[in-house]
Amino acid sequence: MLKKTLILIISLLVLLTGTVGIGVAEKSDAKTELVLALTNLPTSLDPLQDSGLSALTTYDLLYDRLVDIDEKGNIIPSLALSWEPTGEKVWTIKLRKNVVFHNGENFDAYTVKSVIDRALTAPESKQSAQVSLISEVRVIDGYTVEIETKEPWALLVNRLSRLWMYPTKYFDEVGPQGFSENPIGGGEYKFVKWKQDDYLVLEKNENYWRKEQSGIKKITLRHTPDITARINAVQAGEADMAFIIDPEQAVMMEGLGYKLISQPIGQAYIYFFRTTLDSPLSDVRVRQAINYAVDKDIIVNEIFMGKTRKLDGQPVGPDCSGYNPNISAYPYDVEKAKKLLTEAGYPDGFTIDFDGTAGLTPKDKEAAVLIADQLSKVGITMKITLNERGVYLDKLFNAKMAPFWAISLNYAPTMDAYGPLNNATSFTAHKSNADPEFDAKYLKWLAIFNPEEGKVISDELLQRYHDDALALFLWQVPGVYVLQPNIEGIKMRPDYTIDLTNAVVK
Amino acid sequence: MVKYFLYRVSLIPLIILGVVTIVFIILRLSGDPVSLFVGQDATPAEIEEVREEMGFNDPMIVQYGKYLGDVIRLDFGNSMRYGVPAFNLLPKRLPATLQLASFALFISIFIGILFGTVSALKQGTVLDAICSTITLIGQGAPVFWIGVMLILLFSVKLKLLPATGAGGIEHLILPGFTLGIFFAARVARITRAAILDIIAQQYIWTARAKGADEKRVFTLHIAKNAAISVITIIGLSIPSLIGGAVMTEAIFNWPGIGGFIVTAVFNRDYAIVQAGVVILAMTVAVTNIVVDFIYCYLDPRIKLGR
């Protein structure tokens, strides 16, 4: 029997040393190489096939888009040099010349038309919703396109920041599958090799068109969904940078001598009031009182350890193009909160049901408990239900939320106020607010082409959001990144892309 | 034997039916599936359109019937995240899981038998106490804790072994130990108990009284008879090793099927979860049958039958 057991063990060893198709993990060993542990690699390297935020970092290294977004959420030129409305529903866009893709194919107006047409119609396109209002793209000359929309659409150019350009002739030759396996872009880095859900290796495009360029010659992006694994990879020296870690881990890593980048993500975490329900929250004074009764600084400093920022009394941060600098956060003022509650007829407070999230964003559970404690000081009892993601979405889409409920309003990567403003209209499924005046002004804003005029209207909408206290304005979702001590000059942009222009490995 | 084999194989579809039914019920209980297919800003009309299009307005029994029909054709639908048939995504990740589980099995057999034997032969000594304590820790400590501790020591402090990813044999060592250590402790305990039980048997005393040397007594009489219990526990551990790889894969960023399913659960990617659970269930069912037949191979006295 021992011989038989031995045979089994030897067979097992043969199996172990057999060639199982696993890729070799990449390690950086030179001063011009970086290994980045990302939360996720894209599911496809075809930039139309993954619309997730985590894919943007990768796509932005491999491809260029028509417009970029600066740190204040403003649209800035990239492959498009200028854009202007030339009709009620028409935009004319002038394109950059002398840009070539990595295979030598030229970028021109036909590229733009082909990419947008495919984004709209291809079954595999995950970007169709972003550009769904486009009715036609017309090539005017080699470097000018006209984009016509189904209705006046001021946010068209913001939406174009979701479309990365690729060589369409090459794409037509190889098809979506072939392109995803051997992608060719026009960005600062070229494709070298990829193993889905494992790693992606890129190398510098020495013929890149921008004047300011990174000195990093090779980048390995590693798919590392587990937060502990990302930290471990940095501590073990296998990664130079780990994306999105918890605030506690950030403080721990900082204590160990690692560097941090703290760049809040374009997501506003707020608690909505369902003003349409018959509850104490239908009174604006009660809603304002709740805003005064919650100390947002304590939440940011104690729960998030200072690794994010509180919202300035509006559902977007200063990294959003719609941000209104004239609005400030409701100060922490318990006496004023009590006074407002008394005026509203609730001197002893009241009990209110609350639907929160459980792990949908960092620290949401801990903050809910702290906020309940703060509200108890003005007599408001918050009956908390923390919902798992599935249950939460079920309630959201079926208008079954409690009168007081939590939401993370996403405005990345286009960094405009569309999502947060839309959620305060009656056009959403959850219907927390139904104010005809607000709805009308919102629709008016969507149709204003002039950016300055549009900003005036969106400022008014945000002011009303604030004054009517349509929500308890809390914090921006933190984005914390940890780096090896010898890395300098890396910047994370609020739209989830990475700036390596000044990156140095010492 | 052939009759028994056919009987066991015929049970596999029933096992799969049970698994897919449980998965169907649990996933439907965890929230409205339509929420996965629409954005946060979706209007009520858009939500209703998707619900109708995906068949979520049908009675639950109709949805279940359609679902079973699809499962029979191995059509679990397209992955929400990857946009391709979920079933196609899994087979290429299975070898990595089998590789990890096989290595962990080897570790657990080697360490378990070594510690169990030493512990039994040196019963009551300091060596026995050390081995017993280590096996107790191995069985009591959570996998994630062992994994993190091993990484801190061997990857972070000593820089000897990689902490994450897959590649050469060096990438297997830490996750293999982490996954195998729990099962090694179990094998060690059973080995120790089995050897102690056999040592007390009269035929061992007889062998020694006849003047047989200790090496011969151990190999011919003790080890041979203790092996049945040990192989039984090893056999029972194999399915748990494959299923238990989920946590280890996540900690070590191992690109196997377990970590992939965990991510799909968090993303509520129904298609991948369903296809993954069915593949794991099939793997476990087949492994159980193979283990049963290995018993027969190793000890012809055992006869399989209904």
Among B61, B91, B121, the domain boundary falls at: B91
Q: What does the pLDDT average to over B71-84?
A: 84
Q: What does the pLDDT average to over A99-127?
A: 95
Q: What are phi and psi of A333, to 5 degrees?
A: -150, 95
Interface contact A229-B155, CB threshold 8 A: no
Cα–Cα distance measured from residue A496 to residue A477, given in angstroms and rounded to the nearest whole number: 12
Q: What does the pLDDT average to over A367-372?
A: 96
Query: Both B243 and B192 in a single domain?
Result: yes
Q: Name the residue in chain B with its Cα closest to that of A398.
A: B44
Residues of A within 8 A of B169 (CB-CB) are 16-17
The tally of domains found in chain A comes to 4
Strand order in the sheet with A480-483: A189-195, A199-204, A218-223, A33-38, A241-242, A480-483, A259-262
Return the top range by mean pLDDT from A124-133, A337-346, B26-35, B135-144: A337-346
Cα–Cα distance measured from residue B243 to residue B224, given in angstroms and rounded to the nearest whole number: 30
Query: Both A108 and A92 in a single domain?
Result: yes
Residues of B within 8 A of A396 (CB-CB) are 35, 40
Interface contact B99-A16, CB threshold 8 A: yes
Residues of A within 8 A of B106 (CB-CB) are 9, 12-13, 16
CA of B95, closest CA in chain A: separation in Å? 6
Burial of B91 (0-12, 13-18, 19+ CB in 10 A): exposed
Among B65, B91, B117, the domain boundary falls at: B91
Query: Both A249 and A276 in a single domain?
Result: no
Interface contact A17-B297, CB threshold 8 A: no
Tell whether the model's pLDDT for residue A407 goes beyond 80: yes
Interface probe with B: pick from A397, A422, A433, most Cβ of B within 10 Å? A397
Query: Both B173 and B198 in a single domain?
Result: yes
Query: Both A110 and A230 in a single domain?
Result: no
Interface contact A226-B102, CB threshold 8 A: no
Residues of B within 8 A of A225 (CB-CB) are 250, 253, 259, 263
Return the top range by mean pLDDT from A121-125, A293-297, B108-112: A293-297
Query: Both B120 and B257 in a single domain?
Result: yes
Determine, yes or no, domain membership for A50: no
Query: Both A436 and A497 in a single domain?
Result: no
Determine, yes or no, domain membership for B118: yes
Query: Both A74 and A193 in a single domain?
Result: no
Tell whether the model's pLDDT for residue B34 goes beyond 60: yes
The tally of domains found in chain B comes to 2
Determine, yes or no, domain membership for A53: no
Determine, yes or no, domain membership for A237: yes
Interface contact B47-A429, CB threshold 8 A: yes
Percent of chain A whose predicted confidence (pLDDT) is above 90: 75
Residue type, position A9, single letter: I
Interface contact B167-A24, CB threshold 8 A: yes
Which of A1, A235, A390 is the closest to B299 by Cβ? Answer: A1
Query: Both A312 and A199 in a single domain?
Result: no
Query: Both A275 and A366 in a single domain?
Result: yes
Interface contact A410-B40, CB threshold 8 A: yes
Q: Which domain holds residue B68?
A: 2-91
- ipTM attached to this prediction: 0.75
Interface contact B95-A20, CB threshold 8 A: yes
Confidence grade of residue A350 (pLDDT, cut at 50, 70, 90)? very high
Query: Both A271 and A365 in a single domain?
Result: yes
Residues of A within 8 A of B297 (CB-CB) are 4
Q: Name the residue in chain B with its Cα closest to that of A40.
A: B263
Question: A307 by DSSP, 3-state: which?
Answer: coil
Query: Both B252 and B103 in a single domain?
Result: yes
Q: Name the residue in chain B with its Cα closest to that of A426.
A: B43
Determine, yes or no, domain membership for A336: yes
Residues of B within 8 A of A5 (CB-CB) are 227, 231, 298
Q: Which domain holds residue A239?
A: 34-41+187-263+480-505
Query: Both B119 and B48 in a single domain?
Result: no
Determine, yes or no, domain membership for B268: no
Interface contact B167-A23, CB threshold 8 A: yes
DSSP character string of A480-497: EEEE-TTEE--EE-TTS-
Q: Mean pLDDT for chain A? A: 91
Query: Both A462 and A491 in a single domain?
Result: no
Element (H, E) at A219: strand A218-223
DSSP character string of B245-257: HHHHHHHTT--SH
Query: Both A130 and A207 in a single domain?
Result: no
CATH number where A147 lies: 3.90.76.10
Q: What is the pLDDT of residue B132?
A: 87
Contacts 24+ apart (CB under 8 A), B197-205: B197/B226, B198/B222, B198/B225, B198/B226, B199/B120
Angstrom distances, CA of residue A107 to CA of A173, A267, B213, B260: 16, 33, 85, 38
Determine, yes or no, domain membership for B204: yes
Tell whether the model's pLDDT for residue B4 goes beyond 80: no
Query: Both B44 and B183 in a single domain?
Result: no
Q: What is the pLDDT of residue A23?
A: 37
Interface contact B41-A419, CB threshold 8 A: yes
Determine, yes or no, domain membership for A181: no
Determine, yes or no, domain membership for A193: yes
Percent of chain A whose predicted confidence (pLDDT) is above 70: 94
DSSP character string of B12-70: HHHHHHHHHHHHHHHHHHTS-GGGGTS-TT--HHHHHHHHHHTTTTS-HHHHHHHHHHH
Query: Both B116 and B30 in a single domain?
Result: no
pLDDT greater at residue B303 or residue A297: A297
Query: Both A237 and A278 in a single domain?
Result: no
Element (H, E) at B8: helix B2-29
Query: Both B86 and B178 in a single domain?
Result: no
Q: What does the pLDDT average to over A308-319?
A: 96
Question: B230 by DSSP, 3-state: which?
Answer: helix
Q: Name the residue in chain A with its Cα closest to that of B105.
A: A12
Cα–Cα distance measured from residue A175 to residue A173, given in angstroms and rounded to the nearest whole number: 6
Among B45, B75, B91, the domain boundary falls at: B91
Q: What does the pLDDT average to over B82-100?
A: 88
Only one residue has tokens 């890149």, namely A208
Determine, yes or no, domain membership for B230: yes
Determine, yes or no, domain membership for B202: yes
Query: Both B176 and B223 in a single domain?
Result: yes
Is A330 within 8 Å of A367 (Cβ atoms)?
no
